[in-house]
Amino acid sequence: MAVGIFDSGLGGLTVLDAARRRLPDVPFVYFGDSAHAPYGVRDADDIYNLTTAAVERLWAAGCDLVILACNTASAAALRRMQESWVPRDKRVLGVFVPLIEALTERQWGDNSPPREVAVKHVALFATPATVASRAFQRELAFRAIGVDVEAQACGGVVDAIEEGDMILAEALVRSHVDALRRKMPSPEAAILGCTHYPLLQDVFQDALGPDVSVYSQADLVAESLADYLERHPGMLGSGTDGMYLTTGDPRRVSSRATQFLRRQITFEQA
């Protein structure tokens, strides 16, 4: 009954943590492709090939349902995977859907025409590859009209987090928020479009100010996953053991993960 969670590195641990709190009886297998992180500076074909390889490893671990807790993979690879690669008895889901549901206050299955929503000016903070894909804007346009989205590519933030340099990461976040504000002085909402960024959510909020609603993915994705499994219980895979897998150095990755989540995390070689 295991569920797989994939990320290019450690950012998806924020989603895993929230999913475990929401679904304590479900074993999760986490796969972090730290050897190839960050994905945000790679091209679409490279991201697709790395992501499909990781998903196959999670299927082998008994996870018929895999969550791409990586916005870059969700933006650059997910649609292609779903259209031509994922077999009928498996599912691969991304992390944009819960964000857009929250922002537009409508369910994903609502296929009525796009309509106006309360929020008109949205800042999107994401990796360069996610920004270049325009996947968030494309999906939002199917459901809402009149929303101005200003995207800011946050180069260097994921690298700093993966290296454990939170001082540099905080400085980069403040620099990127300043750059965004030069383009959109008064955003009403901000989307943290990378699962690494919740580790710096307080920094984003402080830099943006108290009047900006900051949408982070971890809790939204966890709640969406719980709803999906309630509607599709057959998608719980055959795996019974939770584990942490990495393509990087397990000792180093375990140390970083333990630092992030403030509890002992032990990775195995994928």
* Binding-site residues from annotation for substrate: 7-8, 39-40, 71-72, 195-196
Query: What is the distance between the alpha carbons of residues 204 and 194, in angstroms, rounded to a whole number?
Result: 13
For residue 13, how far is the Cα from the chain centroid?
A: 10
Coil vs helix vs strand at 206: helix
* Burial degree of 4 (CB within 10 A; 0-12, 13-18, 19+): buried
Q: Which residues of 206-217 are buried (b: 16+ CB within 10 A; e: fewer)?
A: ebbeeebbbbbb
Coil vs helix vs strand at 122: strand
Strand order in the sheet with 189-192: 148-153, 121-126, 189-192, 213-215
Q: Pick out the residues of the known binding site.
A: 7-8, 39-40, 71-72, 195-196
Closest by Cα among 64, 89, 93 to 81: 93
Contact yes or no for 196/218 (Cβ under 8 A): no
- Give the residue numbers marked as catalytic: 70, 194
